[in-house]
A and B are shown apart, each in its own frame.
Chain A
């Protein structure tokens, strides 16, 4: 098996050559290459997605970004399946950013080259299979043209003559195939017996990630490059009033407007120069510091969530007289849940390497947002899009942060100013203090049920800052921010009367997309409230959900699977152990989680986790399980300790020593059931996260009788020193 690292030989020129051959419809792109021969007659590119070399290795260019979720492997499996490739001949590479309007690497789901919303498999599964099937038919046609007779596909990147059993490698056919007219992607036959899809195929990126050769953004080295560190204003939103033009320990000091860059011959010297000279920078503070103060913001949110006079946006109004349906119910709850701002804290800090010359720009970016980079760089440099190339590196985590362009703009400006390549790195503290944070929220839920546990009415109000309003992507005063209520609207529960309201909370704290976005707070409120009303009515929380999901077979199957796996309804737990359940239909999937906890409300330990997941057709069960295990960790860290506070605009977080994350000694045992399904693939990357916090709060309520409605559960917890010296 060739690792993806080796495959980074696949140069920009190769990729753009392939892109240059794109058709207007991404799915068929693979297939129309007329200038396919990249190197003599030995290497042929079949459209944008495939390249076949003389050794019959097949390189697959992937439009989605690999940030740990295993998508490079998963999408390569999908292509290799239709071509009956041996896994050992598969090479996968991440595509460069493309500025073509018919960008072959734009996710077909939303026609943009970005990775987010757990959409990669959902968007690419069928289009890539069709593209591969078109390529297969072209290779077969090439065999007929070259050798006569009829041919069919066999394993190992070969075709076989249907009468003589002679075989030829794809490598012998590719150049000819690339000259043929591709068949219509919608009329090709897709295979129905899977050899790779659904199998625990080893990840293509694992070897490189165990020997130091995996190339993350932070690892890019360009000849002659300088190193830059940045300082932003300690008060969030401050801008540079004046900066020194030179500084001890720095070869250059560059005023970036929103920050100052210190350039040196290595990253450490650049960071050291930045801290040594910080006091020489004069900042202009933003006008309204209250709007960047989290205590003031939570007070405002708490008041709006209860106020009858708040201006609300109604996102769902189902049935009638929802408030009456709640108040008239036999059992009802009226609870308010409060959630904090969160940081992304990707293991790899923000960084970007750029080489700007007078007529070109080449950038290496750990990016989830290729779509935005070429236009952004063009605006900063004044260069034409065609003069700009952007390479995607591996990401040491993305989590939604690396879809942004701020760190790229800074690197481009520095390279342009100093006239040579630069690697710009944010220190961990800069990364924490200048994030685009998951919005805080205050959410009031009024929910009523009868004595059989049938939910009668739901009145829901979410007060939180709107990402869309802040980014001016909301027309007028309408937040148009369905993301803000995602996880509260379109609930699968059969509740006849529902009112879902949203009140945007004004803030200037920079907001961003944090793994699972709206569901990360709304699912906490909904699933906590459902548990609360179940406890109030004395109905088993699992049975209450079951009866509200009676019309949704996939949801029921997931609830039953988690029940069977965890023994939620049947097993008696040892004394001192509590259990909590949460459920989510989201990201095209269904998921349920049961957590077991021990200890006291003041010191909880999560001991076991049981996930059941229906994500439709599973491509690689091993990768799906990894997302469940990892999503649990991410969700637990956030629920237990995660929060970013600002005092008058000053971020109080600085590094992992005061932003506690789960360590291995605290890891619960995770078991999972993945439902066998042939439904369209659903999302997996974000799906496991939103259910963690409510399952935890529900388990604590089960164990202690105390209902915890504010996250994080343990604010102020710091982490001691990690690792062994």
Chain B
């Protein structure tokens, strides 16, 4: 892989370049810090703001139609599909993405359970899975109740290990 870290570091700089189509600057509380950017339109889904404008690429695009769960993030502690939330709806909310999950007490537990159970295969759905489990744990659910609230799609079929991981929570 060539120079990817440097490229990631420069993401913010790239995205500050103004273009005609962009609307005015917006600030969002993401992973505990205020991130400012100019979305291409107020109805731009948060998914693409995170990924393309802010370089938070851990949140994934899977379907774009609220079916797969790969794009899940925490909004005010609840699981939310980022393909289904516009940037204007997100203003004033507290957003946590997979990149910030270790700073959340429940998120840290979920992450550790995922590692202990060696859950990921390709890993592409796993951000969403971890967010879904974290949200359930934050809502006071445990074990099978967490499992019952996860309906994310995993093409690799890691479900048995997701079940094993959440059974420890």
> Which residues of A are at the interface with B, using a C-beta cutoff of 8 A?
8-13, 67-70, 93-94, 202-203, 205-216, 218-225, 227, 249, 251, 264-269, 271, 345-349, 362, 364, 389, 391-397, 399, 425, 427-428, 622, 626, 629-634, 655-657, 661-665, 667, 669-670, 719, 721-725
User: Which A residues are in CB contact (< 8 Å) with B118?
Assistant: 202-203, 206, 622, 626
Question: Contact between B61 and A267 (Cβ–Cβ < 8 Å)?
Answer: yes
| Chain B minimum-CB-distance residue to A249 | B21
The minimal Cβ–Cβ distance linking A15 to chain B, given in whole angstroms, is 9
Name B58's contact: one of A211, A220, A724 (CB within 8 Å).
A211
The minimal Cβ–Cβ distance linking A3 to chain B, given in whole angstroms, is 11
Name A391's contact: one of B2, B52, B99 (CB within 8 Å).
B2
Question: Contact between A396 and B123 (Cβ–Cβ < 8 Å)?
Answer: yes
Q: In the docked arrangement, what's the CA distance between A210 and B116, Å?
A: 11
5 new A-B pairs (CB below 8 Å) besides A209-B123, A722-B69?
A: A212-B56, A215-B1, A221-B4, A665-B151, A667-B163
The minimal Cβ–Cβ distance linking B121 to chain A, given in whole angstroms, is 4
Question: Contact between B40 and A269 (Cβ–Cβ < 8 Å)?
Answer: yes
The minimal Cβ–Cβ distance linking A409 to chain B, given in whole angstroms, is 21
Q: A265-B21, A723-B72 are in contact. Are A347 and B132 (CB under 8 A)?
A: no
Kindly state whether residue B161 has any CB partner on chain A within 8 Å: yes
Name A210's contact: one of B14, B64, B111, B159 (CB within 8 Å).
B111
Question: Contact between A221 and B7 (Cβ–Cβ < 8 Å)?
Answer: yes
Kindly state whether residue B66 has any CB partner on chain A within 8 Å: yes
Name A397's contact: one of B53, B122, B132 (CB within 8 Å).
B122
The minimal Cβ–Cβ distance linking B116 to chain A, given in whole angstroms, is 9
Question: Contact between B150 and A724 (Cβ–Cβ < 8 Å)?
Answer: yes
Q: In the docked arrangement, what's the CA distance between A362 and B4, Å?
A: 12
Q: A68-B121, A212-B97, A266-B40 are in contact. Are A724 and B151 (CB under 8 A)?
A: yes
User: Which B residues are in CB contact (< 8 Å) with A68?
Assistant: 120-123, 156
Q: In the docked arrangement, what's the CA distance between A67 and B155, Å?
A: 12
The minimal Cβ–Cβ distance linking A327 to chain B, given in whole angstroms, is 42
Question: Contact between A212 and B98 (Cβ–Cβ < 8 Å)?
Answer: yes
Question: Contact between A223 and B10 (Cβ–Cβ < 8 Å)?
Answer: yes
User: Which B residues are in CB contact (< 8 Å) with A396?
Assistant: 60, 122-125
Question: Contact between B155 and A626 (Cβ–Cβ < 8 Å)?
Answer: no
Question: Contact between B52 and A267 (Cβ–Cβ < 8 Å)?
Answer: yes
Question: Contact between A347 and B125 (Cβ–Cβ < 8 Å)?
Answer: yes
User: Which B residues are in CB contact (< 8 Å) with A215?
Assistant: 1, 4, 57
User: Which B residues are in CB contact (< 8 Å) with A220?
Assistant: 4, 7
Name B1's contact: one of A8, A657, A665 (CB within 8 Å).
A8
Q: In the docked arrangement, what's the CA distance between A225 and B55, Å?
A: 13
Question: Contact between B124 and A206 (Cβ–Cβ < 8 Å)?
Answer: no
User: Which B residues are in CB contact (< 8 Å) with A67?
Assistant: 122
Question: Contact between B153 and A393 (Cβ–Cβ < 8 Å)?
Answer: no
Nearest 8 A/B pairs, CB to CB: A212-B58, A633-B157, A396-B124, A68-B122, A209-B123, A723-B69, A630-B157, A68-B121
